[in-house]
């Protein structure tokens, strides 16, 4: 992501969300998405998370809340169908190669998502209703289907269109 887009996205999130909740600034860690080397950015961010949570090797952070979206292909975070990140079990944060987009996307891994106290999907739009139904009613195998908190809650918030 170009530096100007990364900074613009951070300002937007800060204005719309972070400035409205009592989260200390020192507890906010922006992902360095503007870095040209995605693997180096992922390693750098993983170190930030490990240091903040004082994690030993092999341990994962437990976030209070992870907000997730749902892509029309069933992806969540940047865990896309058939991408190598779906199989990652030891890392916290990775550069996930998305061949169909010819790019790397930075993302937390399933062990982190599934260690959260609460994973919350926010889904909107008519274009998502089929995937929502396939995941929640037909139990189809999509990346979003693998978000299963081990000791936490899984919540889905949808508008009427997405809920079908």
| H or E element, residue 121 | strand 118-123
- Sign, CA dihedral 78-69-71-7, equals negative
User: Strands of 66-68's sheet, edge to edge?
Assistant: 66-68, 118-123, 153-158
pLDDT of residue 5: 60
Q: Mean pLDDT in the chain?
A: 93
Compute the distance between CA of residue 142 and CA of residue 65 in angstroms, rounded to an integer: 21
pLDDT of residue 29: 87
Compute the distance between CA of residue 9 and CA of residue 51 in angstroms, rounded to an integer: 25
Is the pLDDT score of 4 beyond 70? no
CATH 3.40.50.1360 fits 58-163, yes or no: yes
Least confident of 34-38, 141-145, 147-151: 34-38
Is the pLDDT score of 8 beyond 80? no
Do residues 105 and 98 touch, judged by C-beta distance below 8 A? Answer: yes
Is the pLDDT score of 28 beyond 70? yes
Domain boundaries, the chain: 58-163
- Per-residue pLDDT of 95-107, as tens digits, reads 999 999 999 999 9
pLDDT of residue 27: 85
Is the pLDDT score of 73 beyond 90? yes
């Amino acid at each position: 992501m170009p530096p100007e887009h990364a900074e613009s996205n951070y300002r937007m999130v800060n204005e719309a969300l972070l400035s409205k909740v009592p989260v200390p600034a020192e507890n906010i860690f922006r992902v360095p998405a503007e870095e040209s080397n995605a693997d180096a950015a992922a390693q750098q961010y993983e170190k930030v998370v490990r240091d903040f949570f004082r994690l030993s090797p092999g341990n994962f952070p437990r976030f209070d809340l992870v907000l997730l979206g749902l892509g029309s292909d069933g992806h969540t975070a940047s865990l896309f169908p058939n991408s190598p990140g779906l199989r990652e079990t030891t890392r916290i944060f990775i550069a996930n190669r998305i061949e169909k987009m010819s790019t790397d996307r930075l993302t937390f891994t399933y062990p982190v998502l599934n260690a959260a106290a609460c994973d919350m999907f926010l889904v909107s739009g008519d274009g998502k209703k089929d995937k929502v139904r396939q995941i929640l009613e037909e139990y189809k195998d999509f990346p979003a289907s693998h978000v299963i908190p081990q000791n936490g809650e899984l919540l889905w918030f949808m508008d009427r269109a997405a809920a079908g």
